[in-house]
């Protein structure tokens, strides 16, 4: 019993810089366009919403961007995170593959989201911002940003989709505990909210409406900015602390991954673990396969089109070049709330188009099946989002067995599932079903877009 189970880095090994893959992409991303003029937008267009340092990071081509000391200090609360070898899961799957996982559920909010919430709060603080607004669906992002704003003494207003506000009281209470004000969206505090309520006083809300409310509040108050938890370039870059640590930890394990796997919502936790390994592909000729895994019920990477689309469902944001199902696409109410997004970040979309990364989709029943197996073998109960990655790991591990090739697989266990047990309950009670999207369901959102496919 001399096997090493987890590979731990000391605090002084928290990365000193984030890795910016924009320095190494074979083709750069296309520019975001103004929704009205259809012309590329400049930094001034974004200044009412974001601090200038984040706008600079959004367009930077510098390979390494230094992590401020105060951010590294806050990261110390939970970073470096552990990397485990999944011996028991390997045994349960009876596979010759070696399986490793990086565990981001050790953060105070229980997911990878604080990796970007902390620097976003910090740069706002440095630029004199007193208040931030944001939206949240299931509450992972809202709780991560509440924690971060508390660390840096910034007020936070969270617009939480009404139906989640009512069904998920504990995420809301986490936000309150960290000092955030949480509103059930639509509210009567904004023009956007009042408009919706006038039409339907019982509106259950949506992420699109919540974004409109948060953006409106920031745009109409001089001391207030807005923050987003995924999709944007700077958000993906902040998450690279995950992969930078994992590269070192795989070295400690005397191993190197053939395959890196992560679940995919907007792209931040996938980018976080994959980009530092992709750097080794792009710069040093390594051949790591990086696989983004999405739900079959929201398959923008595997069945969407690469074209300009809005980031929100109302159509307020700049047009972004992305794989999308159309911003009016309404995914099934699957339990992995964090993966119910119609589009993908611009960088990840360009990398997929250029075949630098791969994408797969999985059905939710096989996700929960894999998640329960993993919890039984390894002890940790994964977030429903994370089970998508695990289902793909199972697929690759069984393929390795069939082919008799001892592959090394690394995946990102991006969060724990302690606040999502009702999803497991539905699974155990047989209430979850898989259904194939019809041609019409898949194409309606795309047909409503008045932009041309870019490929």
Q: Interface residues with ligand PLP (CB under 6 A)?
A: 111, 113, 140-141, 230, 263-270, 338-339, 383, 385-386, 414-415
Among 301, 322, 299, 300, residue whose Cα is nearest residue 311: 322
**Strand (E) or helix (H) holding 294:** strand 289-295
Nearer to ligand PLP, 105 or 445 (CB): 105
Nearer to ligand PLP, 95 or 140 (CB): 140
- For residues 385 and 114, what is the distance between their CA atoms, to the nearest angstrom? 16
State in angstroms the smallest separation of the CB of 390 from ligand PLP: 12
Which residue's Cβ lies closest to ligand PLP?
265
- For residues 15 and 280, what is the distance between their CA atoms, to the nearest angstrom? 17
State in angstroms the smallest separation of the CB of 229 from ligand PLP: 6
Nearer to ligand PLP, 206 or 268 (CB): 268
H-type helices in 227-378, by residue range?
Answer: 233-238, 241-252, 268-284, 300-303, 346-353, 364-378
Residue 126 burial (10 A CB sphere; 0-12, 13-18, 19+):
middle
Give me the numbers of helices (H) and strands (E) for the chain, helices first please.
Answer: 19, 15
State in angstroms the smallest separation of the CB of 334 from ligand PLP: 13
Torsion (CA) 351, 355, 356, 358 in degrees, nearest 10: 90
Nearer to ligand PLP, 122 or 264 (CB): 264
Nearer to ligand PLP, 193 or 329 (CB): 329
State in angstroms the smallest separation of the CB of 312 from ligand PLP: 15
Among 40, 179, 110, 60, residue whose Cα is nearest residue 338: 110
State in angstroms the smallest separation of the CB of 223 from ligand PLP: 28
Query: Which residue shows structure tokens 């924690």?
Result: 147
Nearer to ligand PLP, 263 or 321 (CB): 263
State in angstroms the smallest separation of the CB of 393 from ligand PLP: 15
**Strand (E) or helix (H) holding 322:** strand 319-324
Nearer to ligand PLP, 95 or 159 (CB): 159
State in angstroms the smallest separation of the CB of 288 from ligand PLP: 19
134 φ/ψ angles, rounded to the nearest 5 degrees: -155, 170
């Amino acid at each position: 019993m001399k096997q090493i189970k987890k590979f731990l880095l000391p605090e002084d090994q928290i990365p000193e810089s984030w890795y910016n893959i924009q320095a190494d992409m074979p083709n750069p991303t296309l520019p975001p366009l103004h929704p009205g003029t259809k012309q590329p937008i400049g930094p001034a267009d974004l200044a009412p919403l974001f601090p200038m340092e984040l706008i600079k990071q959004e367009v930077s081509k510098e390979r390494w961007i230094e992590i401020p000391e105060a951010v590294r200090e806050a990261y110390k609360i939970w970073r470096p995170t552990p990397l485990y070898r999944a011996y028991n899961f390997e045994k349960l799957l009876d596979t010759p593959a070696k399986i490793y996982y990086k565990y981001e559920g050790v953060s105070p909010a229980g997911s990878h989201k604080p990796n970007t919430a902390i620097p976003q709060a910090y740069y706002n603080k440095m630029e004199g911002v007193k208040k931030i607004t944001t939206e949240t669906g299931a509450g992972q992002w809202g709780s991560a940003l509440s924690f971060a704003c508390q660390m840096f003494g910034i007020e936070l207003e969270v617009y939480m989709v009404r139906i989640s506000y009512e069904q998920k009281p504990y995420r809301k209470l986490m936000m309150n505990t960290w000092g955030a004000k949480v509103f059930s969206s639509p509210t009567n505090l904004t023009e956007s909210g009042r408009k919706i309520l006038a039409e339907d006083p019982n509106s259950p809300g949506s992420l699109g409406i919540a974004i409109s409310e948060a953006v409106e509040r920031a745009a109409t108050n001089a001391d207030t900015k807005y923050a987003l938890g995924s999709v944007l370039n700077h958000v993906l870059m902040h998450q690279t602390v995950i992969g930078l640590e994992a590269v070192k930890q795989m070295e400690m394990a005397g191993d190197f991954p053939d395959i890196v796997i992560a679940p995919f919502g907007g792209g931040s936790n996938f980018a976080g673990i994959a980009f530092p390994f992709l750097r080794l592909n792009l710069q040093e000729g390594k051949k790591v396969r990086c696989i983004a895994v999405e739900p079959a019920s929201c398959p923008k990477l595997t069945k969407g089109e690469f074209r300009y689309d809005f980031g929100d469902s109302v159509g307020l944001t700049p047009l972004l070049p992305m794989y999308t199902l159309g911003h009016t696409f309404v995914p099934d109410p699957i339990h992995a709330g964090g993966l119910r997004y119609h589009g993908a970040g611009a960088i990840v979309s360009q990398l997929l188009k250029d075949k630098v990364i791969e994408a797969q989709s999985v059905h939710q029943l096989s996700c929960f099946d894999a998640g329960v197996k993993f919890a039984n073998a390894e002890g940790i109960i994964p977030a429903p989002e994370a089970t998508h990655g695990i289902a793909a790991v199972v697929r690759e591990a069984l393929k390795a067995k069939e082919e008799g090739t001892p592959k090394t697989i690394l995946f990102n266990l991006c969060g724990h599932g302690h606040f999502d047990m009702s999803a497991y309950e539905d699974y155990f009670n047989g209430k979850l079903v898989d259904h194939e999207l019809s041609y019409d369901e898949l194409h309606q959102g795309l047909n409503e877009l008045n932009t041309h496919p870019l490929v």
